[in-house]
Amino acid sequence: MLNYTLPLSLGILAGLLGFVVGMLLQQDSSYRSINKAISNDPYIYERRQQIYEATMFFSYSCSIDPPQRTPCAVSTLMKYGFPGLDDIHIYRNFVLSYDRRNRIAHWVCEHLARDKLDCDDPVVHKPSEFLVDTSIPLLFRASARDFYKSDWVGSQLASPLNYKCNAYDYFETYMLTNIVPVSRGLKTNVWSRLEQHVRQLAQQHGSVYVYTGPLFMPQRITFRNWAIKHQVIGVNTVAVPTHFFKVIIVENEENCDQLPYMEGYVVPNAELDKEIELSVFLSEIRDIEHFAGLKFFEGDRREYQNLIENVESRATLDT
Amino acid sequence: MLNYTLPLSLGILAGLLGFVVGMLLQQDSSYRSINKAISNDPYIYERRQQIYEATMFFSYSCSIDPPQRTPCAVSTLMKYGFPGLDDIHIYRNFVLSYDRRNRIAHWVCEHLARDKLDCDDPVVHKPSEFLVDTSIPLLFRASARDFYKSDWVGSQLASPLNYKCNAYDYFETYMLTNIVPVSRGLKTNVWSRLEQHVRQLAQQHGSVYVYTGPLFMPQRITFRNWAIKHQVIGVNTVAVPTHFFKVIIVENEENCDQLPYMEGYVVPNAELDKEIELSVFLSEIRDIEHFAGLKFFEGDRREYQNLIENVESRATLDT
């Protein structure tokens, strides 16, 4: 009798042990594969909580996080969330939501860090023409030809000057998905000053996230009637936005627990007076959300009036 | 020596068996949970292939498919794919992509089956007002007030008359996400005839899928300039489309292997002559795709000219 008890209990014990190890290993292999899928696919990333819940039987996992794709990982770039989920494309240094109807981006999200802005020998070789993103179906692509002989010039939403330390990163901003029709007078003046302002914030505070995109604002037609009117150019009918927005999220280096500070700018897509102050274009992030149909992070959004005072007092201090 | 071999090999065998059973059971539990998540979430549904690949270690699964949510299951309704992936909402009888910028739907997809259209006592109690979908953030919702005192009337994209056999289904079409500003003259005449045409196709052929949505078409301003101009109404600036489209997919009952036959219609959002033939509004599905920024199923898309001849000959036969 004793002869049977030992092998039997040993067998049951080994079986149970094997069972648990098997479940753990299967879960672990799933976990690794899911993490790989997440780092490549924004939609799986967005639903990661539900997918983890569905597949993780044990809350414990023996796996360490797999090394993330460099330099761009969705989770790093999208720390403050997706403003919208339409047709997301991931590049090395920015994430972009593409508007197939208007053939321009809905928004582009970038992360500027102080150490990536400074370098000894900047690379500024412009590619001879815009680059085509073949992941967009031909039917919904804009082409460089659409901009020929129009009153508008193709300009980047994610500024190439943010990436002048790396030739490949610099080139990537010439992707046609990142290009919008911009008024010539705006591009060389107010818009480039606004981009410079974002880089300055990154230099000062170390880490800045910025969302840039087009706006289509209504105009009053008669007393009670409002309408949106915007040009379309080229055979692909690329939409010319009436305005552009920038939503800037500035992280606090010293106090990470504090909510990041946020600024919103709205600039009309037209030639503007060169002397005009940037603070004139400050606007409520809620208004940008309303007209763009996007939802941004709920950070420390200073009230409009305070914002202007704040920027003005900073400007006074700087001089 | 012999005394150790038996319990040892028994233990190893039991351990291995337990290991495999453990892995299988864990995979099976994942599979069930994922399928549950898929039937509730369109984004997980869209990426189901990648998620299955990531989590299924064995190609064999001991699970049978779990019972699907009735009456609406994403997989049934979306048999011919998602034209776009922006902000998807699933209702009992239609799936809808919401345009947060314009506060109307991008498209609504329905499935009409012959047996669901016929019933003895139709229910046609209209709700006293439109229903609010609380899954849309307040900032991006239209409200019934937006339509007051405007030249436009709120009308359904998914027609309530398709669901007059079930009071709950009928009510659901009064969701504000399904409502668009329509010209009064269009709603009562050409548009309702087009909806009737879709129901007739379903009666004739048994099963019809239909995508309905708004279009914003450019007009010529000067010789080389084109622009899109559309009104916005109410405090929520709800966009008034310039046109509407319907893309109809008719399944062949007798020959399931054959590609389904497709028709596209584009109707201007204006009061139209009552006598006008529906065939006048037939248009290339490719043009609808271009202006809506959507991608439809590649079925048997008859060429424009053939389409008109075909519809005309059918009309002749019917009379």
Q: What does residue B247 show for φ and ψ, rounded to 5 degrees?
A: -115, 120
Contact indicator for A66, A35 with CB cutoff of 8 Å: yes
Q: Is A27–B25 a contact, with Cβ atoms under 8 angstroms apart?
A: no
**Tokens coding B240:** 């008034």
Q: What does residue B97 show for φ and ψ, rounded to 5 degrees?
A: -110, 125
Alpha-carbon distance of A31 to A74, in angstroms, equals 17
Alpha-carbon distance of A197 to A311, in angstroms, equals 12
Give the pLDDT confidence of B15-61 residue by residue, as tens digits: 888 888 888 888 888 888 888 777 777 788 878 878 888 777 776 55
Q: What is the mean pLDDT of residues A67-88?
A: 76
Residue B159: is its pLDDT beyond 80?
yes
pLDDT band, very low/low/confident/very high, at A315 (cuts 50, 70, 90): low
Q: Is B189 exposed, middle or buried (0-12, 13-18, 19+ CB in 10 A)?
A: middle
Q: What does residue B159 show for φ and ψ, rounded to 5 degrees?
A: -70, 130
DSSP character at residue A93:
S
Which pLDDT score, from 0 to 100, does residue A269 have? 95
Q: Is A295 exposed, middle or buried (0-12, 13-18, 19+ CB in 10 A)?
A: middle
Q: Which residues contact B165 (CB under 8 A, 6 or more apart)?
A: B116, B117, B118, B119, B122, B123
Which pLDDT score, from 0 to 100, does residue A319 have? 41
Give residue for tokens 């799986």. A44
Give the number of other CB atoms < 10 A from CB of residue A139: 14
Residues A254-263: contacts with CB within 8 Å, 24+ apart?
A: A258/A300, A259/A299, A259/A300, A260/A80, A260/A209, A260/A297, A260/A299, A260/A300, A261/A299, A261/A300, A261/A302, A262/A296, A262/A297, A262/A299, A262/A300, A262/A301, A262/A302, A263/A302, A263/A307
* A47 contacts in chain B (CB < 8 Å): 37, 41, 43-44, 47
Q: Is A44–B47 a contact, with Cβ atoms under 8 angstroms apart?
A: yes
Residue of B nearest to A293 (CA): B101
Residues B192-201: contacts with CB within 8 Å, 24+ apart?
A: B193/B278, B194/B246, B194/B265, B194/B267, B194/B278, B194/B281, B195/B159, B195/B161, B195/B162, B197/B278, B198/B112, B198/B159, B198/B162, B198/B246, B198/B248, B199/B112, B199/B117, B199/B161, B199/B162, B201/B112, B201/B248, B201/B250
DSSP character at residue A131:
B
Q: What is the mean pLDDT of residues A8-14?
A: 84
Between B239 and B313, residue with greater pLDDT: B239
Q: How far is B77 from chain A (nearest CA, A)?
A: 20
pLDDT band, very low/low/confident/very high, at B306 (cuts 50, 70, 90): low
Instruction: Provide the mean pLDDT of chain B.
Output: 85
Q: Is A227–B227 a contact, with Cβ atoms under 8 angstroms apart?
A: no
**Tokens coding A229:** 């009117």
Which pLDDT score, from 0 to 100, does residue B72 have? 56
Chain centroid, CA A255 distance in Å: 24
Closest C-alpha to B163, from B49, B71, B278: B71
Q: Is A149 exposed, middle or buried (0-12, 13-18, 19+ CB in 10 A)?
A: exposed
Helices (H), A177-277: 184-186, 192-205
pLDDT band, very low/low/confident/very high, at B315 (cuts 50, 70, 90): low
**Tokens coding A285:** 């992030």
Q: Is A26–B29 a contact, with Cβ atoms under 8 angstroms apart?
A: no
Angle at the Cα of A236 (from A139 to B237), degrees rounded to 5? 100
Q: How far is B171 from chain A (nearest CA, A)?
A: 27
Contact indicator for A151, B221 with CB cutoff of 8 Å: no
Q: How far is A314 from chain B (nearest CA, A)?
A: 32
Give the pLDDT confidence of A126-179 residue by residue, as tens digits: 888 899 999 999 999 999 999 988 889 999 999 999 998 888 889 899 999 999
Mutate to test the interface with B, among A2, A5, A13, A19 (most CBs of B within 10 A): A19
pLDDT band, very low/low/confident/very high, at B314 (cuts 50, 70, 90): low
Identify the bridge partners of residue B92 per DSSP, sorted by sequence position: none
Q: How many residues does chain A have?
A: 319
Which pLDDT score, from 0 to 100, does residue A70 have? 46
Alpha-carbon distance of A239 to A101, in angstroms, equals 9
Give residue for tokens 């000062």. A204
ipTM field: 0.83
Q: How far is B141 from chain A (nearest CA, A)?
A: 10
Find the farthest-apart pair of alpha carbons in chain B and give their distance in angstroms, rounded: 100
Contact indicator for A227, A219 with CB cutoff of 8 Å: yes
Identify the bridge partners of residue A98 per DSSP, sorted by sequence position: A105
* A29 contacts in chain B (CB < 8 Å): 57
* A55 contacts in chain B (CB < 8 Å): 30, 33-34, 55
Closest C-alpha to B284, from B274, B296, B275: B296
pLDDT band, very low/low/confident/very high, at A290 (cuts 50, 70, 90): very high
Q: Is B231–A239 a contact, with Cβ atoms under 8 angstroms apart?
A: no
CATH 3.40.50.720, applies to B74-318: no
- SS3 category, B284: coil
Q: Are strands A261-268 and A300-301 parallel, antiparallel or unpaired?
A: parallel
Give the pLDDT confidence of A300-313 residue by residue, as tens digits: 876 655 655 655 55
